[in-house]
Structure 1
Amino acid sequence: MVTGQDPPPRRQINDPRQLRALAHPLRLAVLQYLMAVGPRTASECAVEVGSTASNISWHLRHLAGHGLVEPVEPSDGRERPWRAAQVGLDFGAMSTDPVVMPEQDALIAASMAEESQLTRRFLDHRDKIDPRWLDTARLDGYVLRATPQEMDELAERLNALLRPYLATVRDDPPEDATLTYVGLRLFPRLNAAGRTE
């Protein structure tokens, strides 16, 4: 059972400059990594995302310029760790603004690529994973029939259900708890002609 205080709200990202900053695959991967595991050094982030510490340091400073990450005082006086400045992101409603739309699309594409990479990594290494996790892992898809209002309500209910489990702010997780990934997409299913049925 999850207890404790409600996690802080997700940070609203709808400024085209912030969307553009996050649309870079390395910056998005680093930010998502920090939101998942908490403070890490540029070297630790570089190992996770397959880059160099100097390159990741540059990207961390760029993210810091947008208020998305912040430095943490080092505990050993050596390399400085960084942490995410929020526990989640909310990209808001899908825009049709010609300035915002391409930035939003680029970020969604980068996010989908990151999710695909995490899924592929799980599938490639499943022979090394505790079988209990294999029994509970799900890659489900559903086609629902619902109104926009119902989808909005469903998204809010799912958000409320998931947020108490957020890794970096969960109080007192069980000893055998590990980082898990949940991805969710809600949008109208279009046919080949680009229309709803």
Structure 2
Amino acid sequence: MSAGQDPPPRRQIKDSRQLRALAHPLRLALLQYLMAVGPRTASECAAEVGSSASNISWHLRNLARYGLVEAADATDQRERPWRAAQVGLDFGEMSADPATMAEQDALIAAGIAEEDQLTRRFLARRDALDADWLAAARLDNYVLRATPQEARDLAEKIDALLRPYLATVREDPPEEAVLAYTGVRLFPRLDAAGRTG
């Protein structure tokens, strides 16, 4: 991606088969890893997500069946690298349909677990990080007062701010740039009785 050029759009995931494929925690972690770092072999992926290379190969083939990953150009004939077929995912609007809701809930749970793991890994190892990164790291929480349209507008603005920094498509990042995780959640805050305030 050259300067001034928009990154590719996030891939819309609305098909129930794709939702089910991604709801598996290992597959979601695998896809998010490939979207973050670019092409990797099954062995490299296995080391990152804590599984065997043969198990990861099976999951990669499963993701490929739904067009979520694809084979990448190999540098030698022994290893077969894979890459994410997109730079981000868009799961669309939350559904009220019970079947779709169950699929979305499973995917959301897997995503929350992955985000929790990344956060815990950061917290456990922050003593070894550069002081500049410790000063830049944020775990902020906000409670906003907004209409649904304002929330949609805000989500679009946040997306527009983050997209130029997408790891696998950013060209010529500064030499000291490293992968940085950012997660955004935006939903109505419900009290214990399930009411909005």
TM-score range, shorter chain: over 0.9
Structure-2 residue corresponding to 1:62: 62
Separation in 2, partners of 1:47, 1:37: 14
Alignment-derived partner of residue 80 in structure 1: 80
Retained in 2: the 8 A contact 1:18–1:66? Answer: yes
1:177 paired residue number: 177
Distance 2:48 2:141 in 1: 28
> How far did residue 72 of structure 1 move?
1.3
CA distance in 2, matches of 1:97, 1:16: 12
- TM-score normalised to structure 1 length: 0.98
Question: Within 2, Cα distance between the matches of 1:73 and 1:154?
Answer: 38
**1:110 matches 2:110:** yes
Unaligned 5+ segments in structure 1 are: none
Alignment partner, residue 144 of structure 1? 144
Instruction: Tell me the equivalent position of 2:46.
Output: 46
Deviations 1:92-148 (A, max 9, x none): 000011221100000000000000000000001001111110001000000000000
Count of aligned residue pairs for this structure pair: 196
Partner of 2:135: 135
**In structure 2, C-alpha distance between the alignment counterparts of 1:64 and 1:162, rounded to whole Å:** 27
SS in 2 for 1:82: strand
Q: TM-score when scaled to structure 2? A: 0.98
Distance 1:3 1:47 in 2: 34
For the residues of structure 2 that align with 1:31 and 1:44, how far apart are their CA atoms?
13
Matches of 2:147 and 2:4 in 1, distance apart?
Answer: 34
The amino acid of 1:30's aligned partner reads L
Aligned residue for 1:99, secondary structure, equals helix
Percent of paired sites with the same residue:
76
SS state at 2:180 partner: coil
Offset of residue 80 of structure 1: 0.3
Please state how far the C-alpha of 1:16 moved relative to its aligned partner: 1.2
Corresponding position of 1:11? 11
In 1: Cα distance, 2:181 partner to 2:115 partner: 9
2: CA distance between counterparts of 1:166 and 1:121?
21
Q: Compute the RMSD of aligned alpha carbons.
A: 0.9
